[in-house]
Structure 1
Amino acid sequence: MGRNIGLTGDEKGRIQSLRESGNSVRATTTKVGHSKKMVSRYLSAPNDYCQTYANVNASKLTEAVKTKIFNIAKLPNIHTARQVQAALRIRGAKPIQSLTTIRKAMSVTHAYRKIPACPPLTLNRKLKRLAWARHHQLEQTNWAAIVFTDEKKFNLDGPDGFHKTWVERTADVPNVWSRHSGGGGCMDNMLDRCRQIVGPNMGFQQNNAPVHKSCLVKNFMNNENVELLDWPAYSPDFNIIENLWGILARKVYEGARQYQTVLELKNAILLAWETLDQPVMANLYASLPKRIFDCACLQGAYVQGNRDQF
């Protein structure tokens, strides 16, 4: 008996008619006389059904196909191997079924890297960052007396901000827009707790989100005798709590862990916070003078080094 090559044209039309008339997939398979798997495969992608794929490994791809893959990967709107696979089909090339084959071919000239969250810097913003850095170099600010703040969102199904893309190995990783100002928080007894830890002469850092610049917040801080640290816009690389959030997120989502309830997630966050080592925080504070020095040397540009630091 010969091999069943798939559905005929008449069978495809009958399946479409049965589904449009309200029949379930199971009822359709019974009436057509084919397996549920075959019918479901056709219904999921009618145009691609029984299409011939180039099922070869990356080492056996022709140079012409490799060149097409490399050229497609360079396009600004292409970020994944699946998008390359779809683009190959659109360009009339023989489709490649295995995403692994495409990834291996792309890895010759491209690397799959994380996109660092770097808000764009204009010349004016660089000059303001440079002036801020030089000011604190001269003042020799006591950073240990500064309380750093920022918002952080935790999700039940995993963290944000770990997106990757394919980039040429010889090219820099593209910068992408990142939210530099966010939602508000609750002060409650936080200031009293900070004074107990840091001391009565503490400084308070917060970014330039509109909620932080409001008259209500400024008046509250004045009434509490809190000295606000002047902070340059678009400067996540100076805020050491960004690093701390990254460390905390890796602990909370270790092993690709996900959570079922908000309470479960909250308990995991608190447990991870309790396990943070004091030397880690001390090292982050100790890194501030070098970050400021590097920013001054770079004329206000983002601090280089570990590009995943914020």
Structure 2
Amino acid sequence: MVPRWCPQARSGQATSRVHLGHCRLIQRFTATGRVQERRRPGRPKKTTPREDRLIERLALQTRTASSSIIRRQLRVATNTNISQQTIRNRLHGFNLRSRCPAVRPRLTPAHRAAHRAFCRRHVRWTRQQWSQVLFSDESRFTLNHNNDRLRVWRRQGERYIDATVQEKVAFGGGSVMVWGAFSLHHRTPLFHVQGNMTGLRYQDEILRQLAVPTLQQMGPQAVYQDDNARPHRARVVNDFQQQSGVNRMEWPACSPDLNPIENLWDELDRKVRSNHPPPRDVQHLYQMLQAEWKALPQRIFTTLVNSMRTRCVECQNSQGGYTHY
């Protein structure tokens, strides 16, 4: 018998999932005298809840362990023999998936301490203060982009047909090294770095001709940011910056995720790769980089500058470690 308040007894009204659940419980209790569900038919699990937790713990202890290694460790610990697919199914139940690891520079305790100190000094900087920083860096772009994460759809026996083979060229088929800098309202021209960069070249070709004029346009409160590469910290460069009145920001080593220009290089690379036809040679690649650099919209620079406070907060929360940037 269905109770009068049960939604099944009310025709023409919207039913509630909660009320339907209550009705099922009452009907089950009326028919069987208990509210527990009957044992469902089907193949029982080959692992116990304790073994499932052990599988999760083994995966978390060694994040790089494969399903075959975890299977072998489980068999040694509990004498349970299950397939690798079962191992993966149990890990999926704990919301663990096999993914490619993020690539970041190695951080020593000294690096982490320097990151924390930098973030403590700048975490309360305002948007106006960050807008006075000229972020700079060099980046290398290759003519042929080798994407190791590319996936293709293929049938059995189609592994080596032209449509499913990713062709690679040694050393990317040639590359272009460029230097650039930007602030909230300014950007320098993109400079083609040819040959080895020395301290004297960095002073004459980049600082004197590009960085210093841009800093003068930004005003007396402008701050120059560059990384700790050897040419950037050469004695002639330090002397020139002091003579020119360049206010240089102290920058922690091995901190690309704190520098927003790294995200700008990724955006520039995507813009170039989306062009059809692709660049023919190195000179054509540099011309496309110049065109795309000039065409970058202002909203990208605004977003990157505004993200500096979040970067500092996230770096502090990770104790000077890695961030998602």
Provide the residue aligned with 1:157 in structure 2.
Answer: 144
Matches of 1:256 and 1:238 in 2, distance apart? 33
Gaps of at least 5 residues in structure 2 are: 1-63, 67-91, 152-192
Q: Is the 8 A contact 1:156 1:261 kept in 2?
A: yes
Question: TM-score of the superposition, structure 2-length normalised?
Answer: 0.50
Other structure's SS at 2:258 match? coil
Change (3 A) 1:192 1:125: closer
Match of 1:119, SS?
coil
| TM-score scaled by length of structure 1 | 0.52
Which residue of the partner structure matches residue 143 of structure 1?
130
Give the match for residue 226 of structure 1: 246
> Kindly tell me: are residues 138 and 269 of structure 1, through their superposed partners in 2, closer, same or farther at Cα, counting changes over 3 Å?
closer
Moved more, 206-215 or 192-201: 192-201
Choose the corresponding residue for 2:270, options 233, 250, 259. Answer: 250
The answer on 1:271 being equivalent to 2:276 is no
Which amino acid counterpart does residue 223 of structure 2 have in structure 1?
G
Amino acid at match of 1:211: P
Indicate the residue corresponding to 2:48 in structure 1.
none
* Cα distance change, pair 110–139 in 1 and its aligned pair in 2 (3 A): closer
Q: What displacement does 1:297 show?
A: 1.8
1:211 aligns with 2:198: no
In the alignment, which residue of structure 1 is the partner of 2:106? 120
CA contact (8 A) 2:223 2:247 kept: yes
Which digits, 9 at most, give the CA deviation of each residue in 1:231-285, with x for residues without a partner?
A: 0111001100000000000011116864223321121111111221101101100
CA shift, 1:210, in A, is 1.4
Give the aligned length.
183
C-alpha separation in 1, matches of 2:234 and 2:298:
34
Aligned-partner SS, 1:282 = helix
Residue 315 of structure 2: aligned partner: 295
Q: CA–CA distance in 1 between the matches of 2:150 and 2:322? A: 21
Taking the aligned partners of 1:139 and 1:288, their CA distance within structure 2 comes to 9
Distance change in 2, residues 1:189/1:250 (3 Å): same
C-alpha contact (below 8 Å) 1:204/1:229 kept by paired residues: yes
Who is 1:235 aligned against? 255
Pair 1:277–1:154, CA change in 2 (3 A): same
**Deviation at 1:150?**
0.9
Tell whether 2:304 aligns with 1:284: yes
Query: Gaps spanning 5+ residues in structure 1: where?
Result: 1-72, 76-107, 167-181
Distance 1:110 1:140 in 2: 39
CA distance in 2, matches of 1:123, 1:132: 14
Identity fraction in percent: 27
Please point out which of 197, 200, 205 is paired with 2:220. 200
CA distance in 1, matches of 2:150, 2:271: 24
Q: CA deviation at 1:302?
A: 1.3
**Would you identify which runs of 4 or more consecutive aligned residues in structure 1 move more than 4 Å?**
108-112, 138-141
**RMSD of equivalent CA atoms:** 3.0
AA partner of residue 280 (structure 1): I
Give the whole-Å Cα distance in 1 for the aligned partners of 2:273 and 2:124: 41
